[in-house]
Amino acid sequence: MRITAPLAFRLILGPELRLWAKAGHGPVLWWRDDDARAPNEALDKLLELSRRHGAPLTLAAIAGPHLAALVRRVEVEPAIEIAVHGFKHINRQPAGRGFGEVVPEDSLEWVRAQLRATVMAFHKAGAKPTLFVPPWNHLTSQLIAAIDDSCLTAMSAFGEARGSGEGFVRLDTHLDVLRWKGGGRFRGRWRFLSRMRRLMAQRRISGQWDEPMGLLTHHMDHDAATWTFLDQFLAVFPTRARQDLTKTSPRAARALSA
Ligand SMILES: [Zn+2]
């Protein structure tokens, strides 16, 4: 890490990064931002950050009346991927059971139909997404089965290791820049960087140097401290494009072996 990196970065991550460097490795990071519905000032700010730092970004978008305008706005950016962020992003869980769009009672047929209609809405808006991001990172067996036999090839939630199911590759996020209890606000650099240090140590000890860590942001909920931190973070750590990290599509592998 450069000597110009903010002190907190050097104090919290410096020793771990030195161990990585000694072994000839650096952390593999990628970046997902959720809840894009329309072009606006916060989105412009996010895209400017991505451009300035040369940081590829996956934008999880919600199909709605402004999706086509959103797609047009993002089209002119060099390294932005649009992903499908749920059907309507409406919480259907009963009170006290957390947040999620799909409930256990939903039939697989219904979930499949919702997914098909949503992907169609993205196509109509001019986007060809290949990644699904469940709202609130809430994954259910019906969703897994529906993605499995859709035209989507990847899925992203929170906290798990990269892996592949039958028909898609999973690539999660792990580092949420916000905390959500009592309303979204900056998690704090010590909390965020300490979690990153733990994730890096796990990867180093198990020898999984290439296991990606996903940065998660929500541009509509960032306060000033979040924007500042994000700018500093992206100046220190390069991110990789999502597509690069899910290249081993199981479908492609099956096609090759067939
Ligand atoms: Zn969301």
Using alpha carbons, list the distances in angstroms from residue 181 to 11, 92, 138, 223, 226: 27, 19, 17, 15, 16
Q: How many angstroms is it from 26 CA to the middle of ligand 1?
A: 30
Q: How many angstroms is it from 247 CA to the middle of ligand 1?
A: 25
Q: How many angstroms is it from 30 CA to the middle of ligand 1?
A: 18
pLDDT of residue 62: 98
For residues 213-222, one letter each, b for 16 or more C-beta atoms within 10 angstroms of the residue's C-beta and e for the rest, the string is bbbbbbbbbb
Largest CA distance in the chain: 56
Q: Residue 256's pLDDT band (boundaries 50, 70, 90)?
A: very low
Instruction: Name the burial class of residue 90, with classes exposed (0-12), middle (13-18) and buried (19+) by CB atoms within 10 angstroms of its CB.
Output: exposed
Q: How many angstroms is it from 9 CA to the middle of ligand 1?
A: 28
Q: Residue 248's pLDDT band (boundaries 50, 70, 90)?
A: low
Q: Which residues are paired to 176 by β-bridges?
A: 216
Using alpha carbons, list the distances in angstroms from residue 71 to 18, 21, 34, 244: 41, 39, 15, 21
Q: How many angstroms is it from 159 CA to the middle of ligand 1?
A: 15
pLDDT tops 50 at residue 250 = no
**CB count in 10 Å sphere of residue 108:** 13
Q: How many angstroms is it from 6 CA to the middle of ligand 1?
A: 30
pTM assigned to the model: 0.94
Instruction: Name the burial class of residue 40, with classes exposed (0-12), middle (13-18) and buried (19+) by CB atoms within 10 angstroms of its CB.
Output: middle
Q: How many angstroms is it from 131 CA to the middle of ligand 1?
A: 14
Using alpha carbons, list the distances in angstroms from residue 124 to 67, 227, 257: 9, 32, 34
pLDDT of residue 96: 87
Q: How many angstroms is it from 85 CA to the middle of ligand 1?
A: 7
pLDDT of residue 167: 85
Neighbours of ion ligand 1 (CB under 5 A): 34-35, 135
Q: How many angstroms is it from 2 CA to the middle of ligand 1?
A: 34
In which element (H, E) is residue 22 found?
helix 7-22
User: pLDDT tens digits, residue range 65-76?
Assistant: 999 999 999 999
User: pLDDT tens digits, residue range 156-190?
Assistant: 999 999 998 778 999 999 999 999 988 899 999 99
pLDDT cut 70: percent of the chain above it: 95
Q: Residue 78's pLDDT band (boundaries 50, 70, 90)?
A: confident
Q: How many angstroms is it from 211 CA to the middle of ligand 1?
A: 24
pLDDT of residue 36: 98
Contact 156, 170 (CB under 8 A): yes
Q: How many angstroms is it from 133 CA to the middle of ligand 1?
A: 8
User: pLDDT tens digits, residue range 30-49?
Assistant: 999 999 999 999 999 999 99
pLDDT of residue 247: 86
Contact 115, 135 (CB under 8 A): no
Helices and strands: H and E segment counts in the chain: 9, 11
Q: For 9-257, which CATH class?
A: alpha beta
Q: How many angstroms is it from 219 CA to the middle of ligand 1?
A: 11
pLDDT averaged over the chain? Answer: 93
Structure tokens at 234: 């992206």
Q: How many angstroms is it from 54 CA to the middle of ligand 1?
A: 24
pLDDT tops 70 at residue 88 = yes
The percent helix, strand, coil of the chain (3-state, each to 5) is 45, 15, 40
Q: How many angstroms is it from 25 CA to the middle of ligand 1?
A: 33
User: pLDDT tens digits, residue range 118-170?
Assistant: 999 999 999 999 999 999 999 999 999 999 989 999 999 999 999 987 789 99
User: pLDDT tens digits, residue range 227-241?
Assistant: 999 999 999 999 999
Average pLDDT for residues 192-209, to the nearest whole number?
A: 98
Residue 215: strand, helix, or coil: strand
pLDDT tops 60 at residue 253 = no
Using alpha carbons, list the distances in angstroms from residue 146 to 115, 154, 164, 167, 218: 7, 12, 15, 10, 26
